[in-house]
Amino acid sequence: MGTITEHLSEVTARIRAACERGGRDPACVTLIAVSKTKPLSALQEAYAAGARVFGENKVQEILEKEPAMPEDAQFHMIGHLQRNKVKQLLPHVSLIHSVDSVRLAEQIQQEAKKQGRQIRILLEVNAAKEESKFGLFPEEVMDALEEIRQFPNLNICGLMTIAPFVENPEENRPIFQKLYQLSVDIKKKNIDNVTMDVLSMGMTGDYEVAIEEGATMVRVGTGIFGAR
């Protein structure tokens, strides 16, 4: 049982080691400190230890925490987003990981336009096709992209997935490989308004494997802040 500061430096070291194994540049992997359910004091400790990007899954928590944190702390929405919460959320986030339908994207576009913002988004992919999960199935992604890329206030930066909960992270390696391949295939098409520079995959149990397979953002909660 260490402190948040100790956990953070251990996670950072493990990220570096995974980059080395995977032949990846550590500068290309961003750690998202998933602070959902945790009090502001925990975020402040992580900030003091160097964390700058925080992941939350509830709009309400972002509305409370973002204004209370230093200017250069960024917040990412990583949880399922209801359309009626989009308006409030937009001023407080720098990336939405969890765009899982064209309808949601359309709502974000409408509000972004009203607010005069450009919003960076990822498409959430249910890569393992779990019934309990949100996200587009891999075969639905291209059609959704074709529609969403036409929304002028959105920038589609990449893909996100929540891999299944497994005992052995190796079990998720094929899922991560699949998402990586999908992003490479999309990138090759050179679609307007679609960059595919971000691949958000890997959590406390499997972020090292995700990095070996090409993750550019890992979302680590428990491994930094302890059990929820």
Ligand X SMILES: *Cc1c(COP(=O)(O)O)cnc(C)c1O
Under 8 Å CB-to-CB from 33, ≥6 apart: which residues?
8, 43, 46, 51, 53, 54, 55, 220, 221, 224, 225
Q: Which is nearer to ligand X, 142 or 158 (CB)?
A: 158
Nearest Cα neighbor of 156 from 141, 167, 140, 145 is 145
Task: Give the shortest CB-121-to-ligand X separation in angstroms.
Answer: 14
Of 53 and 142, CB closest to ligand X: 53
How many CB atoms are located within 10 Å of the residue 207 CB?
Answer: 25
Q: Where are the beta strands (DSSP E) in the chain?
A: 30-34, 53-56, 74-77, 95-99, 119-124, 154-160, 194-200, 217-220
From the CB of 111, what's the least distance to ligand X, in Å? 22
Q: Report the 10 Å Cβ neighbour count for 142.
A: 14
In the complex, what is the shortest distance from the CB of residue 219 to ligand X, in angstroms, rounded to a whole number? 4
Nearest residue (CB) to ligand X, 10 versus 23 = 10
Beta carbon of residue 221, minimum distance to ligand X (angstroms, whole number): 3
Nearer to ligand X, 143 or 165 (CB): 165
Q: What is the contact surface with ligand X in residues (CB under 6 A)?
A: 34, 36, 57, 78-79, 162, 203-205, 219-223
